[in-house]
Chain A
Amino acid sequence: MTFEVREGTFRYGHERTVLQNISFVLEGPAILAVLGANGAGKTTLMKCMLGLMPWTSGASCLDGKNIRDYRRREFWSQVGYVPQAKQSAFAYTVEEMVVLGRSARLGPFAQPRKRDWELVGRALETVGISHLRTRLCSKISGGEYQLAIIARALVTGPKLLVLDEPESNLDFKNQMIVLDVLRRLCAENGISAILNTHYPEHAADIAHKALLMMPDGTARFGGAASILTEENLEAAFDVPVSIRKVELPDCTHTCIIPRGTL
Chain B
Amino acid sequence: MEKTVKSRIFWTIGIIAAILLLSVAALAVGRYQIPVRQVFAVFFPGLSGAEEVTGNMRNTVLNVRLPRILLSLLAGAGMSAAGAAFQALFANPLATPDTLGVATGASFGAVFAILFGLSGMMTQLFALGAGILAVGLVYLVSADRRSGRSSIVMIVLAGMVVSALFSALVSLVKYVADPQDVLPAITFWLMGSLSGTTTEKLLLGAPFILVGLVILFLYRWKLNVMTLTEEEAASLGVRVKQVRAMVILGAAMVTASVVSLCGVIGWVGLLVPHISRMIFGSNNQRVLPASMGLGAIFMLVIDTLARCITASEIPVSILTAVIGAPFFILLLRKTGGLPS
Contact = CB atoms under 8 A, between A and B. Distances in A.
A81 B92 contact: no
Given A76-B237, A77-B237, A104-B237, A93 B281 contact: yes
Interface string B216-238: 00111110110111011011111
Given A54-B148, A86-B229, A92 B235 contact: no
A117 B282 CA distance: 17
Q: Secondary structure of the B side of the interface? A: loop
B142 interface: no
B171 interface: no
Contacts of A101: 236
A198 B288 CA distance: 42
Contacts of A251: none
Contacts of A93: 281, 283
A104 B236 contact: yes
A101 to B, nearest CB: 6
Nearest to A109: B218
B339 interface: yes
Contacts of A117: 1
B235 A96 contact: no
A86 B221 CA distance: 20
B224 A92 contact: yes
Contacts, number: 83
B243 A76 contact: no
Contact of A90 (B234, B235, B242, B277): B277
A1 interface: no
A184 interface: no
Contact of A89 (B227, B238, B281, B338): B227
A108 B91 contact: no
B90 to A, nearest CB: 9
Interface residues of A, number: 35
A100 B219 contact: no
Contact of B228 (A54, A88, A156): A88
B239 interface: yes
A185 interface: no
Contact of B91 (A89, A104, A109, A111): A89
B93 interface: yes
A111 B221 contact: yes
A100 B236 contact: yes
Contact of B232 (A73, A75, A83): A83
B88 interface: yes
Nearest to A79: B235
A108 B247 CA distance: 12
A110 B219 CA distance: 8
29 contacts: A50-B235, A52-B235, A53-B148, A72-B237, A72-B239, A73-B237, A76-B235, A81-B235, A83-B229, A83-B231, A89-B92, A89-B93, A90-B91, A90-B227, A92-B224, A92-B282, A96-B282, A100-B224, A100-B236, A101-B236, A103-B238, A108-B242, A109-B222, A111-B220, A111-B221, A112-B221, A136-B339, A152-B236, A156-B237
